[in-house]
Chains A and B, each alone.
Chain A
Amino acid sequence: MTTIDTLAVDSVLHGDARDPRPAGRKEWVDVCAYDALLPERGAAALVEGVQLALIRTFDGDVYAISNRDPFSGAYVLSRGIVGSRGDAPTVASPMHKEVFDLRTGVCLDDPEATVEVYEARVRGGRVEVVVT
């Protein structure tokens, strides 16, 4: 699971939108216990070299989006405030407060900007995601 040694430092440094990862078919990867996620808060996870923001909303749903804030290039979205705008479940970047729709990854303050969204689910008390 920790493919950290294969990680190209360069691509992290240069802030490519897409993290490098092996191509393949849809595969659910076990990440952590559901209980490890606080209600209405995010946590960062490192899955196959990809930095994810796992976010548990008030209703108990879990979303996974890229942890990289596209505006600052810092990997911090998991540390933002979780809430809602209209019907959309959201997270606000802790850097400069742009708000993202957790369902689509679209930035609601600047629709030009989006972050990658990953499939996530809870199975038997564990959180699983698909990063391929």
Chain B
Amino acid sequence: MSDADMIRADESGESEEPVMTSQPQRRLVVVGNGMVGQRLVEAVQERDLRHTWQITVVGEEPRPAYDRVALTSYLTGTSAEELSVVPEGCYDDEHCVLHLGESAVSIDRDAKTVTTASGRTVGYDALVLATGSSPFVPPIPGADLDGCFVYRTIEDLDAIRERAGTAGAGAVIGGGLLGLEAANALRSLGVETHVVEFAPRLMPAQVDQGGGEMLRRKVEELGLGIHTGTATQTIEALDDGRLRMTFADAEPLDVGMVVFSAGIRPRDQLARESGIQVGERGGIVVDEGCRTSDPAVWAIGECALACGKIYGLVAPGYEMAEVVADRLVEGDAAFAEADMSTKLKLLGVDVASFGDAHAATPGALEVVYADPVAGIYKKLVVTDDASTMLGGVLVGDASAYAALRTMVGQPLPDTPEQVLMVGPATSSLDDAAQVCSCQNVSAGRIRGAISDEGCCDVASVKACTKAGTVCGSCVPLIKTLIAQSGVEVSTALCEHFELSRAELFDVIRVTGLRTFSEIIARHGTGRGCDICKPAVASILASLDSGHVLDGEQAALQDTNDHFLANLQRNGTYSVVPRVPGGELTPEKLIVIGEVARDFGLYTKITGGQRIDLFGARVDQLPAIWKRLVDAGFESGHAYGKALRTVKSCVGSTWCRYGVQDSTSLAIMLELRYRGLRSPHKLKSGVSGCARECAEARSKDFGIIASENGWNLYLGGNGGFNPRHAKQFAVDLSTEDLVRTIDRFLMFYIRTADRLQRTAAWLESLNEEHGDGLEYVRRVIVDDELGICADLDAAMERHVEAYADEWAAVLDDEDKLSRFVSFVNAPDVPDPSIQFVTERDQIRPADPTTDSGPVPIAGPELEVVRR
């Protein structure tokens, strides 16, 4: 806690005396900084612009609110920071203070104060309880043994991950939505996983017997052991540290760990102990305004008993937060019974239920479609006259989920069979229909964002409306709405090609066409532009069609590739020799220094562990490179959409923590992939241990040494929208590592869009395939598309065909002849290029500020040609 926090906390009533009328501001205290508590704070901030409320939040967990819905992704590489749901600056202003790692232990309703475990007492005018729930651990003897876990917080997952490393086998008690999610997570950690469910089927709360059977088969296919109708009686510790589970009428099961996921219990203790009314089976009783039996106290989220129900989902919690925020600014919003529709995430099995899935409505009819061979089960629940949709269950194919869910309570547009088979027509979606239930966004709002706010893809609709940002199950429907709006989500490369880059790549690969003229004549129109020409150039280069400046290819290149250097603001170029892995001998370092000095170039160490020389004129480039190539340097491809650098740390050779030789691996990888042209630039890093000095996880492919080999991370990015690379494989041998990266890169090169970095590419695969990284695994590890041999061969060709681009230019009079200032005056340096000096080096003269005397450094300065 900062000093500033301390002072504010003191002001807000460290004394027992509640501060009364003298303060103009009212005091709002929120207990619990989970998803719902956080939403409340933001909802109040949005409405209370004049700061009539001073907000104090007390949260028991050590970190600010995070996305619990996406908790499982923490095990597959999403970091705690990435999961955070707290907008930047939320607690930076004096009107809103957050105390973390502190639980509220009592409420004094007369004095209107809350006291925390650390002894802090905070006065309130309004108190909101957003304490969530805790996992229910059934009273089984042994449930508290070492090796038993629950699945709710980041700390729980840290503990589970640690144990999973040695567990071998594991069991999840509870076959509901969360239990299956936890089971799949265990499986992905390499644990042989069993699911033990007391009810006769999986997901008993959501699906019926028929759906449950289909689900069971699908889940078993994934390799999970399913034990339904099975009650765990005891858990005993065995001598070897493992746990033995015994059952009422089944063989015992020995496992290394047990995870309880048998439901939740609302955390209503604070309310209960202070005499606030709670439900018979728990939960803080609230009215339609979410107010408890004490008018100054409110309860929201999973701890609240609203409309006689505990809602174990985030969307109704958000709704309650909005209601309370509205009431706090004198509004009269009310909470109405909420949608309990759910869809199983992550498992690779489609399961969804919505509305009255169990046909509890009197007279309800069920229409069932089952295809046991394809593993599909669908059920619609409709009113007795088949006129109104009530709910349904989908297993095996839940593509219609998002659309069907919006129709609950609406007249059926067609016969139930038709709706089941073909899916609903989304064009008939009412503007009021709720598309995203997590964020409560209607079809009308999304249509508005498309027509009035210029949103033309899922990403921009997400940014504008928040729809699709929580569980993601409404994304397909958002896509449909975009498509229907008439906004063309064109994948065309540009006005000259209807094809997308991936399609064009396939066309060129399969047809064998190797000149732009042939390609555009057959597959495009016009004469191309600055979008399609470099894209075709890159595709041709990826298909190893010789030197990038050969024949017609030269005319396709951007100026950077055309002069094999990077254009700078004043028309000069920069020169970046390759320094593989950042390792550089003193001799070579001296050569770089001499070249820079002799040509009067500005030098700078780059962010990529090499040296950039700036300020070279086009006509100087060959002479500069002659010197560099003679000294053993080659092109660093800083100008190309190609491999840039493989950053390294010193690793086990020097570093006392290093466990593998990261420098050697980085050099090997950089030499293997140098010159590889791709849709966008490629960067890599190799760290010698988990301290990660090479920042590998910010790279397109990053490698971190482990005791047993190499851990591979994919899809990291710096730039405008930084992303950490996600763990893809652990403990790989060097050979397996290289093969995996070969395939990853080649698959990316073939299928990504133009100028799409790997991170963005993986995100686009998420949208198409649910989990993009899993899809990539199926393609490049399991060889689902049968293309691995092809990808391997393509990379082999690249490695064999590699030759230094600059050395080739220096050997070719024809190519060299283009490196002139003027076609009619090749020896006259461009007079428009002028420099001034700054900190003992040149920089481009700035016409607006560097006027007056002629600059000290002119084009002829200090150039020595040898």
Q: Is the CB of A74 within 8 A of B554?
A: no
Assembly CA distance A2 to B824 (angstroms): 9
Contact A44-B821, Cβ < 8 Å, known A9-B854, A82-B555, A83-B527 = yes
Q: Is the CB of A32 within 8 A of B823?
A: yes
Q: Which residues of A contact B845 (CB under 8 A)?
A: 13
Which of A2, A40, A90 contacts B828 (CB under 8 A)? A2
Whether a CB of chain B sits under 8 angstroms from the CB of A28 is no
Q: Which residues of A contact B822 (CB under 8 A)?
A: 43-46, 51
Q: Is the CB of A31 within 8 A of B823?
A: yes
B residues 183-223 in Cβ contact with A at 8 Å = none
1/0 per position for A82-100, CB-CB distance to B under 8 A? 1111100110101101010
Q: Is the CB of A99 within 8 A of B529?
A: yes
Q: Which residues of A contact B828 (CB under 8 A)?
A: 2, 4, 46
1/0 per position for A55-84, CB-CB distance to B under 8 A? 001100000000010001111100111111
Assembly CA distance A7 to B822 (angstroms): 16
Assembly CA distance A12 to B528 (angstroms): 32
Q: Is the CB of A94 within 8 A of B555?
A: no
Whether a CB of chain A sits under 8 angstroms from the CB of B526 is yes
Contact A83-B530, Cβ < 8 Å, known A9-B834, A12-B831, A37-B823 = yes
Assembly CA distance A33 to B850 (angstroms): 38
Whether a CB of chain A sits under 8 angstroms from the CB of B674 is no
Q: Which residues of B contact A47 (CB under 8 A)?
A: 824
| CB-nearest residue of chain A to B845 | A13
Q: Which residues of B contact A68 (CB under 8 A)?
A: 832
Q: Is the CB of B567 within 8 A of A94?
A: yes
Whether a CB of chain A sits under 8 angstroms from the CB of B847 is yes
1/0 per position for B537-580, CB-CB distance to A under 8 A? 00000000000000010111011001100010111000000000
Q: Is the CB of B832 within 8 A of A74?
A: yes
Q: Is the CB of A38 within 8 A of B823?
A: no
Q: Is the CB of A79 within 8 A of B530?
A: no
Q: Which residues of B contact A46 (CB under 8 A)?
A: 821-822, 824-825, 828
Count A interface residues, CB 8 Å: 48
Which of A9, A41, A80 contacts B554 (CB under 8 A)? A41
Which of B559, B570, B824, B830 contacts A32 (CB under 8 A)? B824
Contact A15-B825, Cβ < 8 Å, known A51-B832, A95-B567 = no
1/0 per position for B361-402, CB-CB distance to A under 8 A? 000000000000000000000000000000000000000000
Whether a CB of chain A sits under 8 angstroms from the CB of B511 is no
- Closest CB of chain B to A38's CB: distance in Å? 6
Q: Is the CB of B559 within 8 A of A94?
A: yes
| CB-nearest residue of chain B to A37 | B823
Q: Which residues of B contact A90 (CB under 8 A)?
A: 529
Q: Which residues of B contact A89 (CB under 8 A)?
A: 527
Q: Is the CB of B824 within 8 A of A72?
A: no
Q: Is the CB of A74 within 8 A of B831?
A: no
Q: Which residues of A contact B496 (CB under 8 A)?
A: 83-84
1/0 per position for B833-863, CB-CB distance to A under 8 A? 0100000000001010011001100000000
Contact A36-B823, Cβ < 8 Å, known A81-B533, A82-B555, A94-B558 = yes
Whether a CB of chain A sits under 8 angstroms from the CB of B594 is no
Q: Which residues of B contact A57 (CB under 8 A)?
A: 527
1/0 per position for B4-45, CB-CB distance to A under 8 A? 000000000000000000000000000000000000000000
Q: Is the CB of A79 within 8 A of B562?
A: yes
Assembly CA distance A80 to B533 (angstroms): 11
Q: Is the CB of B529 within 8 A of A44?
A: no
Q: Is the CB of A75 within 8 A of B832?
A: yes
Interface SS, B side: loop
Whether a CB of chain B sits under 8 angstroms from the CB of A54 is yes
Q: Which residues of A contact B571 (CB under 8 A)?
A: 74-76
Assembly CA distance A95 to B569 (angstroms): 7
| CB-nearest residue of chain A to B852 | A10
Whether a CB of chain A sits under 8 angstroms from the CB of B534 is yes
1/0 per position for A19-46, CB-CB distance to B under 8 A? 0000000000001100011111101111
Contact A58-B554, Cβ < 8 Å, known A72-B569, A83-B533 = no
Q: Which residues of B contact A123 (CB under 8 A)?
A: none
Q: Which residues of A contact B294 (CB under 8 A)?
A: none
Contact A97-B555, Cβ < 8 Å, known A2-B825, A14-B851, A15-B847 = no
Contact A76-B823, Cβ < 8 Å, known A7-B831, A13-B851, A95-B567 = no
Central interface residue in A10, A36, A83, A94, by most chain B CB within 10 Å: A83
Whether a CB of chain A sits under 8 angstroms from the CB of B495 is yes
Q: Is the CB of B554 within 8 A of A38?
A: yes
Assembly CA distance A2 to B528 (angstroms): 35
- Closest CB of chain B to A94's CB: distance in Å? 4
- Closest CB of chain A to B821's CB: distance in Å? 7
Q: Is the CB of A81 within 8 A of B831?
A: no
Which of B529, B554, B556 contacts A84 (CB under 8 A)? B529
- Closest CB of chain B to A50's CB: distance in Å? 11
Q: Which residues of B contact A54 (CB under 8 A)?
A: 823
Assembly CA distance A15 to B558 (angstroms): 24
Q: Which residues of B contact A9 (CB under 8 A)?
A: 831, 834, 854
Which of B529, B567, B570, B824 contacts A85 (CB under 8 A)? B529
B residues 448-496 in Cβ contact with A at 8 Å = 495-496
Q: Which residues of B contact A81 (CB under 8 A)?
A: 528-530, 533-534, 556, 558
Central interface residue in A40, A73, A81, by most chain B CB within 10 Å: A81
Q: Which residues of A contact B818 (CB under 8 A)?
A: 38
Assembly CA distance A68 to B831 (angstroms): 12
| CB-nearest residue of chain A to B854 | A9
Q: Which residues of B contact A31 (CB under 8 A)?
A: 823-824
| CB-nearest residue of chain B to A38 | B555
Q: Is the CB of B832 within 8 A of A12?
A: yes
- Closest CB of chain A to B189's CB: distance in Å? 47
Which of B528, B559, B569, B832 contacts A80 (CB under 8 A)? B559
Q: Is the CB of A41 within 8 A of B555?
A: yes
Assembly CA distance A43 to B528 (angstroms): 19
Assembly CA distance A80 to B561 (angstroms): 11
Assembly CA distance A13 to B824 (angstroms): 22
Assembly CA distance A10 to B854 (angstroms): 8
| CB-nearest residue of chain A to B554 | A38
Q: Is the CB of A76 within 8 A of B529?
A: no
Assembly CA distance A1 to B827 (angstroms): 13
| CB-nearest residue of chain A to B563 | A79
Q: Which residues of A contact B533 (CB under 8 A)?
A: 81, 83
B residues 502-551 in Cβ contact with A at 8 Å = 517, 526-530, 532-534
Q: Which residues of B contact A39 (CB under 8 A)?
A: 552, 555
Assembly CA distance A92 to B526 (angstroms): 15
Q: Is the CB of A84 within 8 A of B526?
A: yes
Q: Is the CB of A73 within 8 A of B847?
A: yes
Q: Which residues of A contact B530 (CB under 8 A)?
A: 80-81, 83, 92, 97, 99
| CB-nearest residue of chain B to A58 | B527
Contact A14-B824, Cβ < 8 Å, known A74-B571, A94-B559 = no
Assembly CA distance A54 to B825 (angstroms): 14
- Closest CB of chain A to B383's CB: distance in Å? 57
| CB-nearest residue of chain B to A90 | B529
Q: Which residues of A contact B854 (CB under 8 A)?
A: 9
Q: Which residues of A contact B569 (CB under 8 A)?
A: 72, 74, 95
Central interface residue in B530, B556, B821, by most chain A CB within 10 Å: B530
| CB-nearest residue of chain A to B557 | A81
Assembly CA distance A84 to B495 (angstroms): 10
Central interface residue in B534, B559, B570, B821, by most chain A CB within 10 Å: B559
Q: Which 9 A-B pairs have the closest CB atoms?
A: A92-B530, A94-B559, A74-B571, A43-B823, A83-B529, A84-B527, A81-B530, A79-B559, A84-B526
Q: Known contacts A86-B495, A90-B529, A99-B530; can you find 13 more A-B pairs with CB under 8 A?
A: A1-B824, A4-B831, A13-B847, A15-B847, A39-B552, A44-B823, A75-B832, A79-B562, A81-B528, A81-B556, A84-B527, A84-B528, A97-B530
A-B contact pairs, 15 of them (CB 8 A): A1-B825, A4-B828, A12-B832, A13-B832, A38-B818, A43-B823, A46-B821, A58-B527, A79-B562, A79-B567, A83-B496, A83-B527, A83-B528, A85-B495, A85-B529
